[in-house]
Every structure is written in C-alpha cells, then in structure tokens.
Amino acid sequence: MLGDVLAAPVSAGWLCNLQAEAAGKLAPFLAEIKGRLAAEPVICADETGTRVGNAKQWVHTVATGLLTPLVVHPKRKVEAMRDIGIFEHYTGTIVHDGLAAYDTYSTAGHAQRKAFNLATRIRNNQDQVLRLLGDTRIPFTNDDAERSLRMVKIHDKISGTFQSAEGAARFAAVRSYLQTADAHGHNLLDACRQLFTTGPWIPPPAVIT
C-alpha cells in the first residue's frame, strides 16, 4: 500500500526506521492518555502473552471505549502493573478477568469477567461480580480491553515473534496511537501525517454528560 501511495518501492529496513521514528514521537501522546485513564471512573484491563525473541513477555492494556494504550512488559502481574503507571493511585473501578494481581490495588473497585468457576467467584466476590448492577457506567463485558489486544494476536499468528524488546515496544506505541485515533473516528492517514509534521494527534477531552 505504501509503495502505491509513494510511487516507489518500500524496503523492510525503511519501514523499521519509520516505525522507530514514529514511536519516538509518541511520548507526549502516551503520557496524556495514561493521565486521562488514571482519572477515569471505570477502566478495562487485560493482558496477553507474546514472544519477544526467545522469551515470553506480556502486552498489557488499560482501556476505555476511546483510549487504548498497549504496554509490553517482561512480567504479567504486580510489577508490570506498577510500571505501567496507571494503577498505583487509581480509585475507580477496574473491569478485569479475575487475575489476582489486580486485587493488589484494593482502593479500586473491581468487576470481574470470564470467571473460570462462576458459582465460586460469585460466592466469594459477590460485590465485585455484581458491581455493574449498582453502577451503570461499568460495562457488561471486558470487550474494550480484549479488542485492543486483537492486533497483538494477529501479529503472533503472522510473524510468530517480535525480534527484540525495542521492536515490541515500538509496535505497542504505534498501535496505541492508531487504535485510539480510530476509536475517535479520526482519519488514520491524517493522524500519521500530523505525527511526522506538527506532532502527535491528541484526543479531545471527554465530554461529561
């Protein structure tokens, strides 16, 4: 596609350099959306494993319907959540699939999804599982987080692995930008053009209704 747009052949090395440049310009964007997520009343969280070189790492997301950052980390649980920089002082509701590490953030409410043993989970965590009945802001599913990880799984099926941690981090940064722009209905070519000219597109503030 880029070859057609540019009317010139495009090499893998050029694309790799372009991705690195794009990721390097996205620090203000990523900081902005992480700050906004930390102030959201409800966030959805999920993680999925991926291969980076010969090791397994984890791609984490903390998402709403409009903000979808991805973060690659060697760890799955508490250490990763601390380094992501959203959970430490979060006091809203975290929608997740029951991973015990989220319970570390006890000041936040929790709404669990995809319970492995539904009867046991409801009995032991009734306030978490049924929290959405008392707060209509909480989604019925964790789809916002799960959807934001979909391209990671597609990458795994096609490529099998990321060659380096740097490449995985760049992929996550660029996907975070494109997914968030797309969720806002922003033209992706315009978002890319803006990134390389005047700086990253920043989503408009949420409208409180």
Give residue-wise pLDDT tens across range 34-67. Answer: 999 999 999 999 999 999 999 999 999 999 989 9
As a whole number, mean pLDDT of residues 81-93 equals 87
Q: Is residue 47 within a helix (H) or strand (E), and if so which, with residue range?
A: strand 42-52
- The pTM of this model reads 0.81
Give the number of other Cβ atoms within 10 Å of residue 202's Cβ: 14
CB 56 within 8 A of CB 160: no
Assess whether pLDDT exceeds 60 at residue 179: yes
- Token representation of residue 81: 């959540």
What is the pLDDT at residue 73? 96
- Token representation of residue 6: 């540019």
50 CB-side CA count, 13 A = 32
Q: Which of 37, 62, 29 lies closest to 186 in space, CA to CA?
A: 29
What is the pLDDT of the chain when averaged over all its residues? 84
Strands (E), 53-154: 55-63, 70-73, 93-96, 109-112
How deeply is 19 buried, as exposed, middle or buried, from its count of CB atoms within 10 A (0-12, 13-18, 19+)? middle
Which domains does the chain possess?
A: 22-197 (3.30.420)
